[in-house]
């Protein structure tokens, strides 16, 4: 797939603000500072479509981006960032859940994990949640330029075992720095698995 057009549509605080047309949506979710914004910017060939912040936990709303005038990328708030209040964490969880529960237009959820580390408890919960509600899930391991070939093989097994992935579920390694894995991610966003 090739993305020729990408445009910001809305930052929504609640589901009444979500786009009401029936275009397919691909949601991106992951822990704060895992590289969601960088991945979306890379996939869309737009350096500043999604604001990349040096402060984790900046995305607090559900952000919709129209892609090729055909479907949406949806950037969900990052989870697992410790330096916010409990009430704010609860609000983020409510926002994420408010989007994910019963969203008919949601075609796939892209779960980002850090390729250098074992998935967190929050990553496991999110993966289980995606599966429980029957959504297609694509696991993307970010920051892959920071691991060696040997570490990559070892870490892939750790990610697979920790998330308890099915044998047919692939892990896509991606680097926003080198763009390694970009085309593979793009080509599999709308696969039928």
Concatenate the DSSP letters of all residues of 145-171 into one string. Answer: GGS-HHHHHHHHHHHHHHHT--TT--E
Region 87-115 average pLDDT: 83
By residue range, what is the domain housing residue 110? 6-187
Closest CA to 79 of 70, 71, 88: 88
Helices 149-163, 121-132: axis angle to 10 degrees equals 60
CB count, 10 Å around CB of 90?
Answer: 10
Q: Give CA–CA dist 176/117, Å, rounded.
A: 17
User: Counting every residue, how long is the chain?
Assistant: 193
pTM over 0.75: yes
Of the pLDDT bands very low, low, confident and very high (cuts 50, 70, 90), residue 79 is confident
Within a domain: residue 149?
Answer: yes
> To which residue do tokens 């992951």 refer?
30
- Residues 6-49: tens digit of each pLDDT: 999 999 888 889 998 889 999 999 988 888 989 999 999 887 88
The CATH number of the domain where 106 resides is what? 3.40.50.300
Cα 58 to Cα 68, 91, 107, 116, distances in angstroms = 26, 13, 25, 22
Count the domains in the chain: 1
In a domain, 127, yes or no: yes
Examine residue 1 and state whether it is found in any structural domain, yes or no: no
Is 158 domain-assigned? yes
In a domain, 192, yes or no: no
Please answer whether residues 185 and 140 qualify as being in contact, where contact means their C-beta atoms are separated by less than 8 angstroms: yes
Q: Which two tokens stand for residue 166?
A: 């099915």
Please check whether residue 167 lies inside any domain of the structure: yes
Percent of the chain with pLDDT over 90: 59
Radius of gyration of the chain (CA): 16
pLDDT at 108: 96
């Amino acid at each position: 797939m090739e993305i020729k057009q990408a445009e910001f549509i809305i930052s929504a605080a609640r589901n009444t603000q979500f786009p009401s047309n029936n275009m397919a949506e691909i949601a991106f979710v992951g822990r704060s500072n895992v590289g969601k914004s960088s991945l979306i910017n890379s996939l869309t060939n737009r350096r500043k479509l999604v604001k990349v912040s040096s402060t984790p936990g900046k995305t607090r709303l559900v952000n919709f981006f129209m892609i090729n005038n055909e479907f949406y990328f949806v950037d969900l708030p990052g989870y697992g960032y410790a330096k916010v209040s409990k009430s704010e964490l609860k609000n983020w969880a409510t926002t994420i859940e408010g989007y994910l529960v019963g969203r008919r237009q949601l075609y796939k959820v892209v779960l980002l994990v850090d390729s250098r580390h074992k998935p967190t408890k929050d990553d496991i919960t999110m993966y289980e949640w995606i599966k429980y509600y029957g959504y297609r899930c694509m696991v993307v391991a970010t920051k892959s330029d920071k691991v060696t070939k040997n570490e990559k093989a070892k870490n892939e097994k750790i990610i697979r075992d920790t998330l308890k992935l099915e044998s047919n579920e692939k892990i896509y390694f991606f680097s926003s720095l080198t763009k390694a894995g970009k085309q593979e991610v793009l080509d599999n966003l709308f696969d039928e698995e």
